[in-house]
Structure 1
Amino acid sequence: MATIGIRKLRLASIRKEAAQLAITRGYSAAGGGKAKKGGKGGAADAPKASALSKELKSTTVFGANILKDGADPKISPDSDYPDWLWHLLDKRPLLSELRRKDTETLPFEDLKRFVKLDNRARIKENNAVRAKN
């Protein structure tokens, strides 16, 4: 499960690098946005390989630095992260599923979620009724 989190961080850094490459790419000055005459044209448009080593990519979270003079954070072992972090992407029950269950036997977290979602649904319904009048 911990490797899934690291893979997602790596994918996020790869996507950010691709976005930066797309943003910095511009038109050539000679052709005014057109390809040069006499050239094959295909080789110049190919994306360049990343200058970062695979080892550096697997140990650093690129793009996570928010400070002007700071550095990108290093990826720590899974034991250094809190347990709740690995459960953030777990699927939680929907309101329809919670309504089908007995509220007396629901765990506290599910009961709390049921009350929140039920109140939200009631508010939306009341607002829709008021908007029609």
Structure 2
Amino acid sequence: MASHCGRTLRTIHVTKDVGLVMGQGHRSFSSGGKAKKGSKGGAASDAPKASVLSKEVKSSTVVGANILKDGTDPKILEDSEYPDWLWHLLDKKPPLSELQRKNIETLPYEHLKRFVKLDNRARIKENNADKAKN
């Protein structure tokens, strides 16, 4: 059956008027550029390039952090020149289960704030799960 439809489609001739109605020319897909004859898919261009920066520059600047056209990469400062809160960003925060085991009245403000947020989130998830079951 498929070969019969294929033969039927091959016999249809498109006239010049139909081509104008459907649009000028035709569309085709390409790989973005013409490959050189005999090349193997651009393996040489995909290889990592050797770094031009010296070790001294790499150790004193944050390479790649510049987002401005006319700017330069920022210099790495001494630890004492950064704010204190920066060094605590990656500290582990207690999970909800641990906060629930502790006395709420003795929790520091930061932990209490986290407890309220996580408890609200858990109650919302529980309510949503109950509604989905019904």
Offset at 1:105? 1.6
2 CA distance for matches of 1:116 and 1:32? Answer: 62
1:51-66 maps to which residues of 2 (within 5 A)?
A: 51-66=52-67
Given the superposition, is the C-alpha separation of residues 47 and 103 from structure 1 closer, same or farther in structure 2, using an over 3 Å criterion?
Answer: same
Given the superposition, is the C-alpha separation of residues 32 and 117 from structure 1 closer, same or farther in structure 2, using an over 3 Å criterion?
Answer: farther
1:33-52 maps to which residues of 2 (within 5 A)?
A: 33-34=39-40, 47-52=48-53
CA RMSD of aligned residues (A): 2.7
Counterpart residue number, 1:103: 104
The amino acid across from 1:85 in the alignment is L
Q: Which of the residues 16, 33, 36 maps onto 1:30?
A: 36
Given the superposition, is the C-alpha separation of residues 48 and 92 from structure 1 closer, same or farther in structure 2, using an over 3 Å criterion?
Answer: same
Which one scores higher on RCO, CA 8 angstroms, separation ≥ 6?
1
Deviations 1:23-69 (A, max 9, x none): xxxx9x53565179xxxxx9997644311100100111112112222
2 CA distance for matches of 1:35 and 1:131? Answer: 51
- Asked which structure has the greater CA Rg, the reply is 2
> What TM-score does the superposition give when structure 2 sets the normalisation length?
0.64
The amino acid across from 2:130 in the alignment is V
Offset at 1:92? 0.5
Are 2:91 and 1:85 aligned? Answer: no
Given the superposition, is the C-alpha separation of residues 31 and 103 from structure 1 closer, same or farther in structure 2, using an over 3 Å criterion?
Answer: farther
Given the superposition, is the C-alpha separation of residues 104 and 51 from structure 1 closer, same or farther in structure 2, using an over 3 Å criterion?
Answer: same
The number of aligned residues is 102
Identity %: 75
> What TM-score does the superposition give when structure 1 sets the normalisation length?
0.65
